[in-house]
Amino acid sequence: MSSIENIRSFIKEKAEQYGAKTENEFNKPYIERNNTGQEALKDNGAYFGFIHPEEEVSGPFHDFSLTIFPNVENKPWLICLGVGSSGFKNDYELATYPGLRRLFSKLTNERGFCKSDFADIETSLPKTITGNDALQHIKNTIKTYTKVLPACRIVDNPESEEGKKIISAFVAGYAKLRDWPSNKDHRKAISDALEPFLKNEIIDEAGEIKNLLIERKYIVLQGPPGTGKTRTAKEVAEKLLAKTFFTQFHAETTFSDFIFGIRPDTNNTGLIYKESLGCFTEAVKYAKENKGEKVILIIDEINRANLSNVLGPIFYLFEHKMDKSNVEIEISPGFKINKLPENFSVIATMNTADRSLAVVDFALRRRFAWYSLRPKKITSKEFFKEDFSIVQEIFDWYATSNELSLQPGQGYFIANNEEEMKNRIRYEIFPLIKEYLQEGLIRNAKEEFNNYFATRINQSLFE
């Protein structure tokens, strides 16, 4: 049996593992195309793979396809997510889903290509593919289809273990696209095929943040709710054995709260006014008086306040490499500084899902380093991994890059038992998703979320 026949059998086998039910004559999961005759294999358009089940077995076709460009000379093949030369008929909306591109971008590498817009069938492949030395034996074939290949990857030896791993992942991606899986076994098979390409490195976030803080001195931890921003800030302070000062900003936070103010005080002699040092001034004074000790000020929810009003003239001081300045700033009566102490650092946190927050201006962004915390699976017996995975998958498939910052973090999925987890979904996650939808966010995912809530807590988003 030839390599082409071996791989044709292999991809049909994989499709079945991923849920493609081929025995149903009237509801086929795909139409197989096989244009691998001797003439075609002479760089004259040879390909095989799957096309949309509503298409014909020959002639021009529409919509997404799984397409493989082979050869019989032991030279590299090209495996692709393709679009029929007739363009889109059923799949245009699918082409706009961010998760589709997000998925296939992870299946390609420097020996492949992924378009920035899968609905675009006017832009040709780049020279890294069309002029690639490894593909010169099929250059005319590639040129024929250059505008309709949203994602592709070179496969050096399709029958090798590595080659089959790449092909399996592309078939699994196509299975997700076509929604073939109908049970846990199908979903697990797809997950196993994609896992080597989607695997996220285990990152020591606290360690990375600690090193960043030592280098930059002033940092902001940003991320969705439930990603442990405040907890991580405190953990970093503990790792550095630092004296910690803590404050939380809100809409009414003022300069007098944070830096210095005068507050009324009533006693037996009547009304008097007392000087009041803000958290910032207390922390800076402590740092100046204890130069051998690390001092960290944690500012929780930094973007909830009007930062121009709160920071006032001290805004100028947040330069991590500032030499001595000839400008002296009085931050409280009798306490003047021209730079912040070397042993003083700031960790701020910012919730990226809070839609009511003011935009942080570029001048402040320049003065701070920004570290993103993202929702992640954690190893804990109280962590409800399956619920987290379902919500994460919905966001990953339907959310735009900006909307990914709305995904509830792992903190929402920690509960002591099933009943507590259901209550967390009912009274925390459900209202949060409903609010997003009411604001016009992640609208493409509304049916998926509704199905999840209806199944999990017997509650509909549309009641």
**In the numeric block, which tokens belong to residue 258?**
């944070």
Angle, vertex CA 245, rays to CA 240 and CA 247, nearest 5 = 130
pLDDT at 1 over 60: no
Q: What is the mean pLDDT of residues 334-355?
A: 88
**How many Cα neighbours within 13 Å face the side chain of 202?**
3
Lowest pLDDT segment from 64-78, 200-214, 417-431: 200-214
What band does 55 get if pLDDT is binned at 50, 70 and 90? very high
pLDDT above 90: percentage of residues in the chain? 73
**In the numeric block, which tokens belong to residue 417?**
């038992």
Strand partners, 145: none
Q: What is the mean pLDDT of the chain?
A: 91
Q: What is the mean pLDDT of residues 184-210?
A: 88
What pLDDT score was predicted for residue 343?
Answer: 96
What band does 337 get if pLDDT is binned at 50, 70 and 90? confident
* 302 neighbors 220 (Cβ within 8 angstroms): yes
pLDDT at 316 over 90: no
Residue 91 has φ and ψ, to the nearest 5°, of -105, 10
* Residue linked to tokens 């991923």: 18
pLDDT at 459 over 60: yes
What pLDDT score was predicted for residue 355?
Answer: 56
What pLDDT score was predicted for residue 169?
Answer: 97
What pLDDT score was predicted for residue 353?
Answer: 82
Amino acid at 304: R
Q: What is the mean pLDDT of residues 294-305?
A: 93
Written in H, E and C, the secondary structure of the chain is CCHHHHHHHHHHHHHHHCCCCCCCCCCCCCEEEEECCCCCCCCCCCEEEEECCCCCCCCCCCCEEEEEECCCCCCCEEEEEEECCCCCCCCHHHHCCHHHHHHHHHHCCCCEEECCCCCCCCCCCCHHHHCCHHHHHHHHHHHHCCCCCCEEEEECCCCCHHHHHHHHHHHHHHHHHHCCCCCHHHHHHHHHHHHHHHCCCCCCHHHHHHHHHHHHCEEEEEECCCCCHHHHHHHHHHHCCCEEEEEECCCCCCHHHHCEEEEEEEECCEEEEEEEECHHHHHHHHHHHCCCCCEEEEEECHHHCCHHHHHHHHHHHCCCCCCCCCCCEEEECCEEECCCCCCEEEEEEEECCCCCCCCCCHHHHHHCEEEECCCCCCCCCCECHHHHHHHHHHHHHHCCCCHHHHCCCHHHHECCCHHHHHHHHHHHHHHHHHHHHHCCCCHHHHHHHHHHHHHHHCCCCCC
CA distance 457 to 455: 6
CA distance 343 to 54: 68
What pLDDT score was predicted for residue 22?
Answer: 82
What pLDDT score was predicted for residue 356?
Answer: 53
Residue-wise pLDDT for 356-399, tens only, equals: 555 566 777 888 999 999 999 998 899 999 999 999 999 999 99
* 316 neighbors 268 (Cβ within 8 angstroms): no
| Residue 37, Ramachandran bin (φ over 0: left; ψ between -120 and 50: alpha; else beta) | beta
In terms of C-beta density within 10 A (0-12 exposed, 13-18 middle, 19 or more buried), how is residue 439 classed? exposed
What pLDDT score was predicted for residue 359?
Answer: 54
What band does 159 get if pLDDT is binned at 50, 70 and 90? very high
Instruction: Pick the more confident residue, 124 or 338.
Output: 124
What band does 275 get if pLDDT is binned at 50, 70 and 90? confident
CA distance 326 to 324: 7
Q: What is the mean pLDDT of residues 111-139?
A: 93
Residue of 278, 289, 288, 293 whose CA lies nearest to 243:
293
pLDDT at 189 over 80: yes
pLDDT at 340 over 80: yes
Q: What is the mean pLDDT of residues 93-122?
A: 94
